[in-house]
Amino acid sequence: MSGDVIIEVQGGVGRLRLNRSKALHALNLSMCRAMLDALAAWINDPAVGLVMIDHAEGRGFCAGGDIRMLAESGAADGKEAAAFFHTEYQLNHLLFTYPKPVIAFMDGITMGGGVGISLPCRYRVATERTRLAMPESGIGLFPDVGGGWYLSRLPGRIGAWLALTGASLNGADCVALKVATHYILSGKVEEAKAALLSSGREPQDSLAAWTVEAAPPAIQAQQADINRLFASDRYEDILAALRSDGGEWATAQLAALAKKSNLTCKIALRQLIEAARHSDFADEMRMEYRIATRICRSADFIEGVRALLIDKDLDPKWTPAEPEGVTGSMVEEYFAPMPPGEEWQPLRIKR
């Protein structure tokens, strides 16, 4: 068991508590392995009827993954990064296909890896403190951990907007978009958890007792502009539409996109096209693993981590510097099949 995740069974509930508060509970390899092992053991354990994923102290549910390690590995041979992605994606896939109900409490920052362990769950609780985002384009990554699957299935062009800009959704937005299944005030979350831990049963009734109506979602006011201005699957067309509009909101989106990697923005748009065609979540994870193991070794990712986490100058120098410099063949390289024996595979468990 990793000290960064607390694993226990309480009252018929298998509980996974993220416990890395100084890093906003960002996932590392040992955490992913520990959760994967626990979930695998609980599948055939009659003492466990429900799984709960939450976090211990701190303001974030889960802020992502071990980005610094990925960049260091990518700058070397990439093997440690590949091992992390392979295990993390097995965790994502197991949660997506898990036969027992799983509930995630997305109380606070829910980004990157946090999205990957919450959105596959049958029950997803948001609060007024929820801030859900896939901000990977700002460091030269892409919306992985199943992000392509979820974003491509949001209404209109909201998924493309989120993938490109890294914009966040609040709890009310998450409920309106069905990203969350329930909305509970943060001050009542611990009481709701206690009720679930005392019952150990299907949580629908217990959750209903604590659920309240969310405020009007902010996303409603933006959706028409998102659908209109992010309508194209061609990145240059989106930028042109934003420039042509010239309004305050469009100008803000242009400013956000100016800070993103042109390469990863184009990869993300292609990812969403492919993801929408997938009918099996394993196919999504296989595609994302191909991208991830390559992109972690790219110049843009290493530069993005330098600018954000190492030098902290917030001024990455992307390659190519202009969207037009990213060709279709450059993007295609990231989606190509892996060599024999290196493709991602889901965890096989006897049931």
Domain ranges of the chain: 5-333
- Which of 60, 74, 108, 113 does the annotation list as catalytic? 113
pLDDT digit string, tens, across residues 134-190: 999 999 999 999 999 999 999 999 999 999 999 999 999 999 999 999 999 999 999
- Identity at 265, one-letter amino acid code: C
- Which of 88, 144, 173, 300 does the annotation list as catalytic? 144
- pLDDT confidence bin for 350, thresholds 50/70/90: confident
Q: What is the mean pLDDT of the chain?
A: 95
Say if residues 96 and 281 touch (Cβ distance below 8 Å): yes
* Residue 113 appears among annotated catalytic residues: yes
pLDDT digit string, tens, across residues 236-245: 999 999 999 9
pLDDT digit string, tens, across residues 54-69: 999 877 899 999 899 9
Residue 283 makes CB contacts below 8 A (sequence gap 6+) with none
pLDDT score, position 221: 94
pLDDT score, position 341: 94
pLDDT digit string, tens, across residues 13-34: 999 999 999 899 999 999 999 9
- Which of 49, 65, 114, 146 does the annotation list as catalytic? 65
- Identity at 131, one-letter amino acid code: R
pLDDT score, position 1: 44
CA 247 – CA 18 distance, rounded (Å): 42
- Which of 88, 107, 136, 303 does the annotation list as catalytic? 136
In this predicted structure, the answer to whether residue 99 has a pLDDT above a threshold of 80 is: yes
Which homologous superfamily does the CATH classification assign to the domain defined by 5-333?
A: 2-enoyl-CoA Hydratase; Chain A, domain 1 (3.90.226.10)
pLDDT digit string, tens, across residues 245-285: 999 999 999 999 999 999 999 999 999 999 999 999 999 99
Q: Which two tokens stand for residue 234?
A: 């061609």
pLDDT score, position 208: 87
* Residue 78 appears among annotated catalytic residues: no
Edge-to-edge strands, sheet with 182-183: 5-10, 13-18, 50-55, 102-106, 123-126, 182-183
* Residue 144 appears among annotated catalytic residues: yes
pLDDT digit string, tens, across residues 185-205: 999 999 999 999 887 667 877
* Residue 65 appears among annotated catalytic residues: yes
Strands (E), the chain: 5-10, 13-18, 50-55, 60-62, 102-106, 109-111, 123-126, 131-133, 168-170, 182-183
Say if residues 88 and 32 touch (Cβ distance below 8 Å): yes
